[in-house]
């Protein structure tokens, strides 16, 4: 199953076009704009179709869509005029629209007598077959908790969908909803591969029961885990996001703590490859005490299976160093596997051996490079003028590291120091090290999906814009 996120925003989108709050300003400055939520499954099944869904950028087409699953009639989820604009084209296939009563009623006025469109009213408790040219899918209709006061009949009839592909991959589409009713969790019928979950309100809690926020989402995830719907291999991604959330740079690590990803509009979630969570490659740069290690550990903590590669090594004659290392170790969760690089353990081997769905955290590349230089006897050779030979040895080691990072099926989080912004070091070995570390960082950055510079505990996103699309695999 391949799920294209056509929108991940709330009704107003994020940023809200009329708002200059901190969150909206940050998203605008980053060039990001989220449209009302909608998802396209294997190009065949569209879940929700809001006002902006038909106005797609890039190479996405809705021509192959054979089924539209409508959660409810709120206008951010259903803009039925597209049924008219579709009729202006000879698509060559029928479209089946499924949804609650009022939502389907709103579609009727836009369907002409000869249109190749069939409307179907469905409610919670039913499972319908969805035949397509790519095989037969199934959709189970589930009750949402989308309460907006007694007058809102469109919210009252809101549903969620569990969609099963012919190959068995399963999606739970769970917006707009608050805490899921127990009957809904039961009715999902077991494990899913992907959950798109409402996270409309971020840090705002005074919004009623019809949506989720950062305080209510953890309870829903616990219930989904207890109900066997979500396990460690399930990909959970937030959607229906609004400006009540903190800016994405702050929201992303907070969601990661919950095991939830923050996708962008247009992202493709590819569930075709078995074996775990999406692999990401991340480089965190920074000076001493910039917060890079703390941030790296926060990212890794979203994974059940973490391999921590400590490159610090031992310095038998340095108690201050030993204390530093012990402090770092005490901070890490006990279930993380720790690899002390040096005694026969190489970073490249650990990264290469890591399995899909796990995370490898390397802290840090600066000391890894030091070890490479020590092994090559680089300091003495550099003082003796053999810089070319030293560069060649280091390049070979860096090539192996970069290849392993690129090929990794696991998420790899790499920490490195940003040095060389001060005066040029007085010694030849100091200059050599600053040069080589700068080159190493640039090479590794090139192999990473995201690059972040930490300054005074604040992250600065160095990822090229527009952000690279992650080829997420599950």
The set of catalytic residues is: 328
Inter-residue contact 363 to 309 (CB < 8 Å): yes
Q: Give me the least distance between CB of 183 and Zn ion, in Å please.
A: 20
Q: Give me the least distance between CB of 330 and Zn ion, in Å please.
A: 40
Q: Give me the least distance between CB of 201 and Zn ion, in Å please.
A: 12
For Zn ion, the closer of residues 11 and 453 by Cβ is 11
SS3 string, the chain, reads CEEEEEECECCCCECCCCCCCHHHHHHHHCCCCECECEEEECCCEEECECCCCCCCCCCCCCCCCCEEECCCCCCCCECCHHHHHHHCCCCCCCEEEEECHHHHHHHHCCCCCCCCEEEEECCCCCEEEEEECCEEEEEEEEECCCCCCCCCHHHHCCEEEEEECCCCCEEEEECCCCCCCHHHHHHHCCCCCEEEEECCCCCCCCCCCCCCCCCCHHHHHHHHHHCCCCCCCCEEEEECECCCCCCHHHHHHHHHHCCCECCCCCCEEECCCCCCCCCCEEEEEECCCCCHHHHHHHHHCCCCCEEEEECCCCCCCCHHHHHHHHHHHHHCCCCCEEEECCCCCCHHHHHHHCCCCCEEEEECHHHHHHHHHHHCCHHHHHHCCCHHHHHHHHHHHHHHHHHHHHHCCCEEEEEEECCCCCCCCCCHHHHHHHHHHHHHHHHHHHCCCEEEEEECCEEEECCCCCCCCCCEEC
Q: Give me the least distance between CB of 249 and Zn ion, in Å please.
A: 16
Query: What is the C-alpha to C-alpha distance for residues 21 and 243, in angstroms, rounded to an integer?
Result: 8
Q: Give me the least distance between CB of 10 and Zn ion, in Å please.
A: 6
For Zn ion, the closer of residues 79 and 311 by Cβ is 79
For Zn ion, the closer of residues 34 and 243 by Cβ is 243
For Zn ion, the closer of residues 19 and 106 by Cβ is 19
Query: What is the C-alpha to C-alpha distance for residues 258 and 412, in angstroms, rounded to an integer?
Result: 19
Distance between alpha carbon 194 and the CA centroid of its chain, in Å? Answer: 12
Q: Give me the least distance between CB of 213 and Zn ion, in Å please.
A: 14
Q: Give me the least distance between CB of 276 and Zn ion, in Å please.
A: 31
Query: Any residues with CB less than 8 A from the CB of 349 and at least 6 apart, and which?
Result: none
For Zn ion, the closer of residues 157 and 176 by Cβ is 176
Q: At what angle do helices 387-407 and 365-375 cross, to 10 degrees?
A: 130
For Zn ion, the closer of residues 144 and 376 by Cβ is 144
For Zn ion, the closer of residues 156 and 429 by Cβ is 156
For Zn ion, the closer of residues 243 and 277 by Cβ is 243
Question: Tokens representing 289?
Answer: 């005490």
Q: Give me the least distance between CB of 392 and Zn ion, in Å please.
A: 53
Residue ranges in contact with Zn ion by CB under 5 A: 11, 16, 19, 21, 24, 74, 76, 176, 243
């Amino acid at each position: 199953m391949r799920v294209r996120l056509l929108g991940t925003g709330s009704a107003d989108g994020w940023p809200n076009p009329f708002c200059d709050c901190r969150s909206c300003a940050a998203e605008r400055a980053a060039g990001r704009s989220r449209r009302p939520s909608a998802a396209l499954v294997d190009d065949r099944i569209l879940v929700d179709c809001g006002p902006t869904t038909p106005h797609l950028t890039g190479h996405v087409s809705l021509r192959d869509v054979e089924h539209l699953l409508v959660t409810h009639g709120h206008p951010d989820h259903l803009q039925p005029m597209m049924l008219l604009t579709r009729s202006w084209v000879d698509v060559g296939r029928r479209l089946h629209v499924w949804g609650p009563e009022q939502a389907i009623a709103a579609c009727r006025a836009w369907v002409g007598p000869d249109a190749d469109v069939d409307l179907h009213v469905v409610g919670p408790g039913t499972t319908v077959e969805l035949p397509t040219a790519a095989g037969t899918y199934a959709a189970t209709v589930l009750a949402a908790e989308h309460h907006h006061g007694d007058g809102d009949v469109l919210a009252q009839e809101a549903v969620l969908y569990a969609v099963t592909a012919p190959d068995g991959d399963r999606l739970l589409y769970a917006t707009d909803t608050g805490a899921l009713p127990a009957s809904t969790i039961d009715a999902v019928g077991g494990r899913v591969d992907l959950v798109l979950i409402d996270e409309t309100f971020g840090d705002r809690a005074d919004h009623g029961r019809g949506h989720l926020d950062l305080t209510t989402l953890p309870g829903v995830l616990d219930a989904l885990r207890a109900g066997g719907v979500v396990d460690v291999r399930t990909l959970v991604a937030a959607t229906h996001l609004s400006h009540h959330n903190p800016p994405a740079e702050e929201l992303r690590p907070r969601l990661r703590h919950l095991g939830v990803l923050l996708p962008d509009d247009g992202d493709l979630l590819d569930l075709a490859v078995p074996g775990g969570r999406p692999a990401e490659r991340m480089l965190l740069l920074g000076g001493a005490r910039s917060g890079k290690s703390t941030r790296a550990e926060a990212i890794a903590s979203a994974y059940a299976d973490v391999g921590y590669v400590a490159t610090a090594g031992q310095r038998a004659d340095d108690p201050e160093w030993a204390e530093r290392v012990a402090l770092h170790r005490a901070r890490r969760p006990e279930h993380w596997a720790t690899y002390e690089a040096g005694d026969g353990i190489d970073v490249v081997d650990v990264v290469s051996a890591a399995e899909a769905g796990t995370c490898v955290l390397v802290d840090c590349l600066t000391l890894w490079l030091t070890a490479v230089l020590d092994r090559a006897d680089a300091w003495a050779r550099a003082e003796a003028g053999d810089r070319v030979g030293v560069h060649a040895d280091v390049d070979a080691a860096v090539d192996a590291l970069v290849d392993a990072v690129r090929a990794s099926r696991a998420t790899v989080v790499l920490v490195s120091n940003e040095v060389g912004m001060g005066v040029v070091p007085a010694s030849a070995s100091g200059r050599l090290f600053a040069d080589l570390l700068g080159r190493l960082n640039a090479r590794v950055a090139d192999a990473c999906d995201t690059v972040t510079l930490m300054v005074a505990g604040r992250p600065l996103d160095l990822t090229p814009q527009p952000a690279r699309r992650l080829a997420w695999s599950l």
